[in-house]
Amino acid sequence: MADRYLRLTGTAPGRFLTRRLGLPQPAALARWSPEHPALDGGLRHLTAGTSALDLAPVLARTGLGPGGAEEPPGAVVLDATGVRDVEALAEVHAALHPVVRSVAPSGRVLVLGAPLDPADHHQAAAQQALEGFTRSLGKEIGRGRTVNLVRLTDAAAAESTLRFLLSPKSAYVSGQVIEVGPLHESPAALDWDRPLAGRTALVTGGARGIGEAVAETLARDGARVVVLDVPQAEQDARRVADRIGGTALPLDITTADAGARIAEALPDGLDLLIHNAGITRDRRLVNMPAERWISVLEVNLASVLRTTDVLLKAGTLKRGGSVVATASIAGLAGNAGQTNYGASKAGVVGLVRSLAPRALDEHGVTVNAVAPGFIETKMTAAIPLFIREAGRRMNSLAQGGLPADVAETTAWLAHPASGAVNGQVVRVCGQSLLGA
């Protein structure tokens, strides 16, 4: 459904009226397209503290040049990995204070931090301070700009993450803290335009909505996509599969033998397992019958656990592969009328945090999750008007996201060069005002 308020604020009378009334003023976000693959403006690289990172080669490959002295920067990268005490935090202010106002609309501010040192509580305090700084700046910067924090020790291991966050593909990702560890295995030579070429991806719930957008984006990046959905949606699944050059797999993911049937359908193995299938059965707990509780937990969580276990144990999921599950901000912050849904999505977070280190060590597979906020789909279009408007505006970007925003984040986590990103739950919510 069209966001008429966003359109209104894009006009001169709308801007005047909303400014006078103190109403949210969302800016139209610049998202990725073949015609618009990079941010507008150059990149400004700043440093606070003494850094040991060699960022220049990686930043040069993001597609953002240095820009002109008078040109508003499309992105500002602040290397604060060397900030080790409170005094050094003054350098964070000194570096960003003069330039943050000049960042171009839909631009990026990316703060780079270091892992917290358990043996140095001064360093840990200073680096944790960067998180509060980043989240706060994201809530005040406006004009469609985003602010994120990446904790890293190796610039090369973070290249796919830096490319993603410094591109239009991350338009609805803001206020996030992402930890990038060391590369478990170095990827082979990559075609950054089609990084998933030669890889097979399975997208559950891929016949419509967010799942359909994920299938399309993975296919754009070169993957052979298997679109899985319930038999009742077989026609829609085949329509999507035919359009992207993939195949359809009609299957109820909640059946006890779903994992075995997937393995049978993919004798050559699977590189990317995207758990997107999900349902809602909203009702307050006092009015919720057991069937509504059980059905949501079965689709959204139990099926994810079962199929992942089977495909890892069978070796169907290949080394160098990825599992990307769909959580939700409802699982992180809670939502009235969704105790079942919130429980299921919080369970996905627990799955990711527990399984990620073991899956990487034992199988060479990363495990991460995306946690969407208010995304413009047929489901959210059915929400009553005033609740829908509140959902759209209660984030730092003051608008709903698109299925493509979740899809682009999923594609980044599935990227062969994202092997250093593991055990992360990344919110795609425009920095929702709910939760952390």
Q: Where are the domains of the chain?
A: 31-179, 200-428
How far apart, in whole angstroms, are the C-alpha atoms of residue 135 and residue 431?
8
Give mean pLDDT, residues 261-282.
Answer: 97
Edge-to-edge strand ranges of the sheet holding 43-49 = 43-49, 75-82, 108-113, 146-151, 177-179
Active-site residues: which are they?
341
Question: Interior CA angle at 340 toward 298 and 236, to 5°?
Answer: 55
CA dihedral defined by 296, 297, 299, 302, rounded to 10 degrees? 180
User: What is the Cα–Cα distance from 118 to 329, expressed in whole angstroms?
Assistant: 29
**pTM listed for this prediction:** 0.96
Output the 3-class SS for 250-319.
Answer: ECCCCCCCHHHHHHHHCCCCEEEEEECCCCCCCCCHHHCCHHHHHHHHHHHHHHHHHHHHHHHHCCCEEE
Question: What crossing angle do the helices spanning 258-265 and 303-313 adopt, rounded to 10°?
Answer: 50
2, pLDDT greater than 80: no
Distances (CA, A) of 200 to 178, 196, 262, 270: 26, 8, 12, 5
Split at pLDDT 50, 70, 90, the class of 330 is very high
Distance (Å, rounded) from C-alpha 63 to C-alpha 75? 11
pLDDT tens digits, residue range 147-171? 999 999 999 999 999 999 999 999 9
Q: What architecture does CATH give domain 31-179? A: 3-Layer(aba) Sandwich (3.40)
Q: What is the pLDDT of residues 68-107, one digit of tens each?
A: 777 899 999 999 999 999 999 999 999 999 999 999 999 9
CA distance 61 to 316: 34
Q: Give Cβ neighbours of residue 112 (< 8 Å, ≥ 6 apart).
A: 53, 55, 77, 78, 79, 80, 81, 149, 150, 151, 152
pLDDT tens per residue, range 361-407: 999 999 999 999 999 988 777 777 777 888 899 999 999 999 999 99
Pick the CATH number of 200-428 from 1.10.10.10, 3.40.50.720, 3.40.1350.10, 1.10.630.10: 3.40.50.720
Distance CA 75, CA 67 (A): 10
For the cut 70, the answer to whether the pLDDT of residue 359 exceeds it is yes
Domains 31-179 and 200-428 share a fold: yes
% of the chain with per-residue pLDDT over 90? 85
Segment (H or E) for 74: none
Tokens of 227: 């679109």
Which residue did the predictor score with more confidence, 408 or 189? 408
Nearest-CA neighbor of 174 among 143, 201, 202?
143
With 70 as the cut, is the pLDDT of residue 1 above it? no
pLDDT at 15 over 80: yes
